[in-house]
Amino acid sequence: MADKNSVVRVGVIGPGGAGRGNTLAFATRDDVEIVAAADNSEQSLNALEKGLRERVEGYHEDSFKRYIGEYEFIEMLNREDLDIVGVFSPHSLHDIHVKYALRSGCHVLVEKPMANLVGDAIAITKIAMGRGLHLVGGYQRHYENTYMAGKQAISQGLIGTIQKFDVYLAQRWGGAGWRGDPRFSGGGQPNDSGSHLQDIFLWMTGLLPKEAHGTTDMNFEDETGQLVLKSVEINSNTDVSMDNGASGTVTIRGNTRTGFEEWVILEGDEGRLEIKGGIQFTPKGGEPQPLEFQRPEGYPQSKVDQLVGLVKGEYDINYTSGINGIRTSWLTNSILEAGKQLEEGRLISCDTILEKEGYNRQFVLDLIDECASKRMY
């Protein structure tokens, strides 16, 4: 563990686009140094250099070591003395990059989804736990007041037993770049931005999926109004039942012109919780009312703050631990499998998804308990 007064040494894999934003979130801290970055593209590393010059006060030109090439991340891990590795590569590469980083003795921040397949998410989590390393997933909504308030309200029993739910995300998402390539995407929009809403629903409620039935499609309307068939899933609409008997719909849309929109609506036997541009609670038989929330003292400000604080011993609770990647990949895998082949979708047993990866529901339940005993939520 790094000393509280020490500077944390960070290396990053895939600092392009969102990865560059994550890297800058590390770099703008006084207690972090960006030591090295690995990427296939020199242009991506040039953009990172430009961002560091513009955003980091006192930044020295070309101060991070560049590793350019498909496998040069291995050289970075072998040569550099790193405390943390940020894995911001395309989705299908998360599994291998995270495993290499953990086996090199580094703590890891990995962008969503943690892994494309639930079995890989389980393996990553177990490796981190076995090596006593911190693994933080890229789910920033865990640090947003509205969703934190929702989780607190549910855990305190404000709406009682959850019976119904509506989880929705819409974004104009056409699968640009590697996200539209099935080799790297791992499931289109349901596995990309859609991962965030699936995660936060599962994190707030603590529920696990039981069955899924729905459809996916690859249809996207371009700027001229023409319908274009993409190579990855653009939309999904799935009816899901949970392990407590609750049922509802998870809708992820990429073919939209409305801009970004999201909500989570939960109905329990004691009331209703609506998170949509804010949060409000409606007690059973009562009127809607805003939900007050007091952010706990000492709660991390972001996923980057979470990991740096864990490494330096400033925090002892991980609010975006690997268990979130497991739950989310499990649900995403079920949604994608349900949407395959038949136009009307098909009913998928979520237990079967796990069993094909060599695990079962009880294993996940036991792992959740083990994580909780280590203050990993």
What type of residue is 161? Answer: T
Report, as ranges of residue numbers, the positions in the chain whose pLDDT lies below 70.
1, 3
Q: State whether 151 and 101 are in the same domain.
A: no
pLDDT tens digits along 97-138:
999 999 999 999 999 999 999 999 999 999 999 999 999 999
Dihedrals φ, ψ of 15, to 5°?
Answer: -85, 55
Q: State whether 233 and 199 are in the same domain.
A: yes
Q: State whether 87 and 120 are in the same domain.
A: yes
Residue ending a domain, choose from 77, 109, 140: 140
Range of the domain at 261: 142-301+317-373
Q: State whether 170 and 52 are in the same domain.
A: no
Return d(Cα 294, Cα 282) in angstroms, integer: 19
Q: State whether 194 and 127 are in the same domain.
A: no
Q: What pLDDT score was predicted for residue 292?
A: 84
Q: State whether 105 and 172 are in the same domain.
A: no
Which residues lie closer than 8 Å to 333 by C-beta, 6 or more apart?
117, 118, 353
Residue ending a domain, choose from 140, 157, 179: 140
**The domain that contains 185 carries what CATH number?**
3.30.360.10
What does the mean pLDDT of the chain come to? 96
Q: State whether 254 and 361 are in the same domain.
A: yes
Q: Is the peptide bond before 182 cis (omega within 30 degrees of 0)?
A: no
Q: Is residue 89 part of a domain?
A: yes
Q: What pLDDT score was predicted for residue 3?
A: 66
**The domain that contains 19 carries what CATH number?**
3.40.50.720
Query: What's the domain count of the chain?
Result: 2
Q: What pLDDT score was predicted for residue 48?
A: 97
Q: What pLDDT score was predicted for residue 346?
A: 87
Q: What pLDDT score was predicted for residue 219?
A: 96
Q: State whether 70 and 149 are in the same domain.
A: no
Q: Is residue 193 part of a domain?
A: yes
Q: Is residue 308 part of a domain?
A: no
Residue ending a domain, choose from 111, 140, 169: 140
Q: State whether 344 and 202 are in the same domain.
A: yes
Return d(Cα 87, Cα 90) in angstroms, integer: 9
Q: State whether 200 and 132 are in the same domain.
A: no
Look at residues 116, 139, 164, 124 and name the one whose alpha carbon lies nearest to residue 332.
116
Q: State whether 93 and 23 are in the same domain.
A: yes
Tallying the residues shown for the chain, one arrives at 377
